[in-house]
Amino acid sequence: MSETKPVIVIVPGGFCSPEVYQPVANILEQDGFTVIIPTLTVAKTLTYKDPTSQEFKDLANKGLLDDVNEIHDRLASEFEKGSEVVIFGHSYGSLPALLAIEGHTVTERKAKGLSGGFKGYVAVAGFAYAQRGKNARGDTEPAPPMPYFEHEDGVFHMTEAAKPLFFSDLSPEKQDEAWKLVLGSQSQKSLSDVSEFINSDVTIPKTYILCEKDQTVPPELQEMLIQAGSFDKVEKLSSGHFPFVSIPEETAKLFAQIARR
């Protein structure tokens, strides 16, 4: 009898298109996994950076729960088939990935007479909700702009100053290629939303993948987030913030090992 592999979901990091994660998805699919990469609702490249445009206003109003709904929509047919899912969230993506779990673990769904569900949660250089009713920074204030953001009417715009930090372990030429897959803007709301459901509420195995050469979320900050998020197990990759781009084979191998647990 062949092994029944769980479905792997990879929730993109902030400002990231699904294409960033495709190198790892391709390897996992060759290994027989079904891989789903939702498209973030909170990030896009705007046609015009015009705060009066409907497109701009719509993006500014998008929050974490819009991404959670997108994850649930993408997984509805898999759950109906009885698929068990391991959800990986990269950077910002670790937050909607976490919130998507509430009420949808295999055990919780079984108790309601439903099939499928989440069986594992993995944060890759991710963040944590450590305090109920607070955001991932532990307060209730709007997210401040990072040094490489421009801020305008509830939207953060990415600037090229982030390129060497995001892709610190790539050559300048490869940094330029990877940068083409980074989206231009993301809502401030998505990085400010508070949550009543927090990391300590998660009852399925929680794994953190620490990126040892990360210049966006430095390893010492990741270590603090591991403690704050009460993760059960820690794995490490010798990479910058985007192991999906710089070391896809090693990343896929680790993802497969975690998914099979």
pLDDT tens digit sequence for 28-67: 999 999 999 999 999 999 999 999 999 999 999 999 999 9
**The two structure tokens encoding residue 167:** 């892709």
Residue 191 confidence (pLDDT): 97
Per-residue model confidence as pLDDT tens digits over 64-116: 999 999 999 999 999 999 999 999 999 999 999 999 999 999 999 999 999 99
> What average pLDDT does range 188-200 have in this prediction?
98
Its pTM stands at 0.97
Contact 141, 194 (CB under 8 A): no
Q: How confident is the model at residue 1 (pLDDT cuts 50, 70, 90)?
A: very low
The percent of residues above 90 in pLDDT, for the chain, comes to: 98
| Separation of alpha carbons 154 and 61, rounded Å | 8
| Separation of alpha carbons 205 and 105, rounded Å | 11
Residue 4 confidence (pLDDT): 87
Q: 71-107 in b/e burial notation, b at 16+ Cβ within 10 A?
A: beebbeebbeeebbbbbbbbbbbbbbbbbbbbebbbe
Q: In this model, does residue 3 exceed pLDDT 90?
A: no
Q: In this model, does residue 249 exceed pLDDT 80?
A: yes
In sequence order, what DSSP letters do the residues of 220-234 get, joined into one string? HHHHHHHHHTT-SEE
Residue 2 confidence (pLDDT): 53
> Which phi and psi (to 5°) does residue 55 adopt?
-60, -45
All domains of the chain, ordered by start, with CATH?
Answer: 7-259 (3.40.50.1820)
Alpha-helix runs per DSSP H in 35-170: 54-60, 64-80, 94-101, 106-111, 163-166
Distance (Å) of CA 127 to CA 27, 89, 230 = 26, 9, 11
Per-residue model confidence as pLDDT tens digits over 113-154: 999 999 999 999 999 999 999 999 999 999 999 999 999 999
**The two structure tokens encoding residue 232:** 């059960």
Q: What is the mean pLDDT of the chain?
A: 97
Q: How many helices (H) and strands (E) does the chain have?
A: 10, 10
> Which phi and psi (to 5°) does residue 205 adopt?
-55, 135
